[in-house]
Amino acid sequence: MLKSPANPAEKRILIVEDEGLVAMTLEETLRRIGYLVVGIALSGEEAITLTGEQHPDVILMDIRLQGGMDGIEAAQKIKGQFGTPIIFLTAYSDDETIRRVVMTESSGYLVKPINTRELFAGIESALYKKRRFDRFMEQQATASRPVCPCGTPMIQAFSPEKGEMIAVGWVCPKCHHFVQGN
């Protein structure tokens, strides 16, 4: 049986799905494999509100939702405000939908009907990437940064998806000197 490693009940999941039966089935599946479901949102607007109130570790987001905002728009707002990993669960896999999803830098994309093993793997992967990114950010807060000859510290750019620095050099905003990265 699948079980989330290390304190599974602490892994908080928000479901964003406007079809009641699908949402209830997903909730039961998540509980059975060891996750805590902190809420079910029916619309993009409700998803944003619940994310702010419940602080989920991962959001499972349908694309077609009730209300004036679809799941992709909601994901962009949530990512910008909270940085919460989002996995899309949808019956739609057309080129335009996939293009829009890619632009959100989501943590995953699963086509319905959802396979429990794929769901589990997607959630655990999203949680792992988030932990890795958070550790990196903590290290960066205390690590030495490249410094321009004028004394201005440079901000480093990191890609959580690639797990590496994405900037190799910076132009100092103060003196316009080029500073080579590590």
Q: Is 12 helix (H, G, I), strand (E, B) or coil?
A: strand
Structural domains of the chain ordered from first start: 8-139 (3.40.50.2300), 144-182 (no CATH)
Q: What is the pLDDT of residue 146?
A: 60
Q: Could you list the mean pLDDT of each consecutive 10-residue stretch along the chain, which spans 182 residues?
A: 58 96 97 96 98 98 94 95 94 87 89 94 94 77 62 61 58 63 52
Closest CA to 71 of 27, 23, 15, 16: 16
Q: What is the pLDDT of residue 171?
A: 64
| Residues 6 or more apart in contact with residue 117 via CB below 8 angstroms | 2
The backbone torsions φ and ψ at residue 68, rounded to the nearest 5 degrees and listed phi first, read: -90, 0
Beta strand segments in 30-180, E? 36-41, 58-61, 86-90, 108-111, 158-159, 164-165, 169-171, 178-180
Whether the predicted model's global pTM rises above the 0.85 cut: no
Q: What is the pLDDT of residue 124?
A: 96
Burial (CB count within 10 angstroms: exposed 0-12, middle 13-18, buried 19+), residue 35: buried
Cβ contact 19:64 at 8 Å = no
Which amino acid is located at 108 in the chain?
G
